A and B are shown apart, each in its own frame.
Chain A
Amino acid sequence: MPDGASPILEVQGLQTVFRTRGGDIHAVNSVDFHLQPGELLGVVGESGSGKSVTMMSLIGLLPSPPAEVRAGTVRFGGDDLLRMPARQLRDIRGARIGFVFQDPMTSLNPVFPVGFQIMEPLRKHMGLDRAAARRRAQELLELVGIPDAARRLGDFPHQFSGGMRQRVMIAMALACDPEVLIADEPTTALDVTIQAQILVLMKDLRERLGMAVIWITHDLGVIAGIADRVMVMYGGQVVEQAPVKALFARPQHPYTRALLQTVPHVTGARADRLKVIEGQPPVLSGPPRACPFRARCPHAFETCARANPARVAVGPDHDAACFWDVDRGAPRHV
């Protein structure tokens, strides 16, 4: 990774609240992170930890109401995406920032041919005419490994399998050569063999196209093979952030350690049963005043109930939000 280069995306103090009838839900709480050009940042966390909401807040994709981005800045190419007129933001979405969603079965419009759907951003953002957009759409389908691309442009989504639809989604997200690709659990809805194919495809595309990628998943196994750096989220906060090797070698947050223990090992002695993290994720009805993980944490002590730990450096480019120092087995001095 080109160290020291200025980040392409820099998020600070992001806070998103859903105003529902049952009260406010603080889904994202003071999230800070950055993304270097060409880097692949993995984002992990149980479902409900705020991964999707964070990423959708960045580019204004959350329905409002009920969502409300209350605070924060999102620096992208010198502008703040959160304070940008809707029109200008639309010119960035799908052009400079591409999005791939979780469920390829429902994320494509069922009544339009896939060719049309891929051509839409090409025509809007790149101003291509119909013929040029069509040629480019065909190239894109070939790029993502869909055989017989020219003919398949006219096919409707239901004529593709799940894996092929996700390839179409990827082609669509990559249509305008984005600088950043955000992939929100792009393989979760797919069969294991198809997941592997999509992973290989993404690795290959990243090498060829060189865009930065944010890869959301709840599967640490996937992250290990693909990410440069990992960000762990819990209760709408970033609880640990580290280069991928450091995270797997020296996880510092008890939540990360618990997550790592849930990853089944293919090699080695087979565990009697899969480990799970005991307890429930926190209810996010107010801004966090204490550590959100304390109820499930084996190391929790009285400080954890009094304050919400800030992220502190625990190694080179490695930080964790925890009062407990796992290396020393004692509270951390801050």
Chain B
Amino acid sequence: MFTYTIRRLLIAIPTLLVISLIIFLVVTLAPSDPTANLPLSIPSEVRAQMREALGLNEPILVRYLLWLRQFFLYEPLHMLDQAFGLSLAGEDMQRILSWQTRSPVADLIVQRLPQTLWVVGTSYVVGVLIALPIGIVSAYRQYSWFDQIGTFVSMVGFSVPTFFTGVLLIVIFSVHLGWFPSIYDTTLRVTDLSTFWLQIKQMIMPVAVLALYNAAQISRFMRASMLDNLNQDYVRTARAKGMTERVVVLLHVLRNSMIPVVTVIALGVPTVFGGAIITEQVFKVNGIGQLLIIAIQGGDVPTVQTLTFIFAVLIVLFNLIADVLYGLLDPRIRYD
């Protein structure tokens, strides 16, 4: 298992290089001009100079290699410096700067990550936590009223887009009832019980919207996996041994059913970091998803490239984690 993990990590390197090249090319070759949003009064010679200063006149391959060096060498060194107060990075080691704000992209991400982790991360955890028991009960009581309602709700959660449920919640709970704020306030600092309560209140709606969506998918998956296993012969064996239904379902069946479900849950984690782009927009959560949208609209190539590539890294990484988990959970799988 260990050598397998190491080998997979090594294979991930060329994979990520190819992905980075593709992302770089797609974003760079897109017909957008970083100076397009500037006032029209700026003369075209100045615009040309600005483009040159941004390094846009170099050949594409050179720009790609420079970007790689920045991403894999300079940025990590700068991050270490910031984190531990060192000075590993030299003066000439230029950071990846956002064209819009002229500040390092890494700093922008660090600023926005907590909001995304709080809102989207919580919603994922909540979604999983409600999905698992619902999936288990729905499968065990297949076609019961509980299962029918569960099927209906998850179909709704699955098919109604989050911008609809989000706006619906805002209309009901913010506009009419006035229970929760419709805008997420990033400046809120949790210092005591009352600010903690405010934080909870502003998180409830975005978390609920996303949790519904996540839970809809995962509970269906859990249900299907449980149903697959409930009909297996080993379940009859466990009953023939006199095990209680509790042990039969929550130990024998669940342990088997979790194998594919854990994989799916792990594969879904990168989407947490991707932020729920739409939901962040609806509730004005200034997280990673919103950063990406603004960067795309402003033609901010470095920010878009960096974010996209980080997502790619996370997806590759969590694919690996899912495979390793699969191997750990299923004794029949041997990686060597």
Q: Is the C-beta of B241 less than 8 angstroms from some C-beta in chain A?
A: yes
Residues of A within 8 A of B240 (CB): 59, 61, 93-94, 98-99, 101, 173
Given contacts A90-B242, A93-B240, contact A109 B252 (CB under 8 A): yes
Q: Is the C-beta of B201 less than 8 angstroms from some C-beta in chain A?
A: no
Q: Name the residue on B nearest A59 (C-beta).
A: B240
A101 to B236, CA, bound (A): 9
Q: Is the C-beta of A262 less than 8 angstroms from some C-beta in chain B?
A: no
Task: Let me know if A109 and B244 touch, CB within 8 A.
Answer: no
Q: Is the C-beta of B308 less than 8 angstroms from some C-beta in chain A?
A: no
Task: Let me know if B243 and A109 touch, CB within 8 A.
Answer: no
A120 to B238, CA, bound (A): 9
Q: Name the residue on A nearest B333 (C-beta).
A: A158
User: In the complex, what's the smallest C-beta–C-beta distance from A125 to chain B, in angstroms?
Assistant: 6
Given contacts A158-B331, A158-B332, contact A109 B256 (CB under 8 A): yes
A319 to B232, CA, bound (A): 38
Partner pick for B234 among A61, A106, A156, CB 8 A cutoff: A106
Task: Let me know if B256 and A111 touch, CB within 8 A.
Answer: yes
Q: Which secondary structure dominates where chain B touches chain A?
A: helix
Q: Is the C-beta of A172 less than 8 angstroms from some C-beta in chain B?
A: yes
Given contacts A106-B234, A108-B234, contact A93 B330 (CB under 8 A): no
Q: Name the residue on A nearest B235 (C-beta).
A: A109
Given contacts A93-B242, A121-B241, contact A107 B236 (CB under 8 A): yes
Q: Is the C-beta of B329 less than 8 angstroms from some C-beta in chain A?
A: yes
Instruction: Determine which residue in A59, A101, A107 has the highest number of CB atoms from chain B within 10 A of its CB, and name it.
Output: A107
The A-contacting residues of B in range 242-293, CB under 8 angstroms, are: 242-244, 247, 252, 255-256, 259
User: In the complex, what's the smallest C-beta–C-beta distance from B237 to chain A, in angstroms?
Assistant: 5
Task: Let me know if B331 and A91 touch, CB within 8 A.
Answer: no
Q: Name the residue on A nearest B252 (C-beta).
A: A109
Task: Let me know if A120 and B241 touch, CB within 8 A.
Answer: yes
Q: Name the residue on B nearest A108 (C-beta).
A: B234
A158 to B330, CA, bound (A): 11
Partner pick for A95 among B242, B256, B330, B332, CB 8 A cutoff: B242
Task: Let me know if B332 and A107 touch, CB within 8 A.
Answer: no
Q: Is the C-beta of A275 less than 8 angstroms from some C-beta in chain B?
A: no
Q: Is the C-beta of B69 less than 8 angstroms from some C-beta in chain A?
A: no
Residues of A within 8 A of B236 (CB): 61, 101, 107
Q: Name the residue on B nearest A103 (C-beta).
A: B233
Residues of A within 8 A of B239 (CB): 61, 93
Residues of B within 8 A of A59 (CB): 240
Give the total of A residues in contact with B, Cβ under 8 Å: 28
The B-contacting residues of A in range 137-178, CB under 8 angstroms, are: 156, 158, 169, 172-173
Task: Let me know if B237 and A108 touch, CB within 8 A.
Answer: yes
Q: Name the residue on A nearest B232 (C-beta).
A: A106
A155 to B224, CA, bound (A): 29
Residues of A within 8 A of B238 (CB): 109, 120
Residues of B within 8 A of A95 (CB): 242
Given contacts A59-B240, A93-B239, contact A156 B332 (CB under 8 A): yes
Task: Let me know if B242 and A121 touch, CB within 8 A.
Answer: yes
A138 to B256, CA, bound (A): 25
Task: Let me know if B234 and A124 touch, CB within 8 A.
Answer: no
Given contacts A103-B233, A109-B237, contact A124 B256 (CB under 8 A): no
Task: Let me know if A125 and B242 touch, CB within 8 A.
Answer: yes
User: In the complex, what's the smallest C-beta–C-beta distance from A47 to chain B, in angstroms?
Assistant: 16
Residues of A within 8 A of B329 (CB): 111
A20 to B252, CA, bound (A): 27
A91 to B239, CA, bound (A): 11
The A-contacting residues of B in range 308-336, CB under 8 angstroms, are: 329-332
A101 to B255, CA, bound (A): 22
A172 to B238, CA, bound (A): 10
A61 to B238, CA, bound (A): 10
User: In the complex, what's the smallest C-beta–C-beta distance from B74 to chain A, in angstroms?
Assistant: 47
Given contacts A101-B233, A103-B233, contact A110 B332 (CB under 8 A): yes
A169 to B232, CA, bound (A): 15
Task: Let me know if B331 and A110 touch, CB within 8 A.
Answer: yes
Q: Is the C-beta of A112 less than 8 angstroms from some C-beta in chain B?
A: yes
Task: Let me know if A110 and B234 touch, CB within 8 A.
Answer: yes
The B-contacting residues of A in range 93-139, CB under 8 angstroms, are: 93-95, 98-99, 101, 103, 106-112, 120-121, 124-125
User: In the complex, what's the smallest C-beta–C-beta distance from B231 to chain A, in angstroms?
Assistant: 8
Given contacts A107-B233, A156-B332, contact A112 B255 (CB under 8 A): yes
Residues of B within 8 A of A93 (CB): 239-242
User: In the complex, what's the smallest C-beta–C-beta distance from B179 to chain A, in angstroms?
Assistant: 44
Q: B residues touching A (Cβ–Cβ < 8 Å)?
A: 232-234, 236-244, 247, 252, 255-256, 259, 329-332
Q: Name 11 extra pairs, CB < 8 A, besides A107-B233, A107-B234.
A: A92-B242, A99-B240, A101-B233, A109-B255, A111-B256, A120-B241, A120-B243, A120-B247, A121-B242, A121-B243, A124-B241
13 interchain pairs (CB within 8 A)? A59-B240, A90-B243, A94-B241, A101-B236, A106-B232, A106-B234, A107-B233, A109-B234, A109-B256, A110-B331, A111-B256, A121-B243, A156-B332
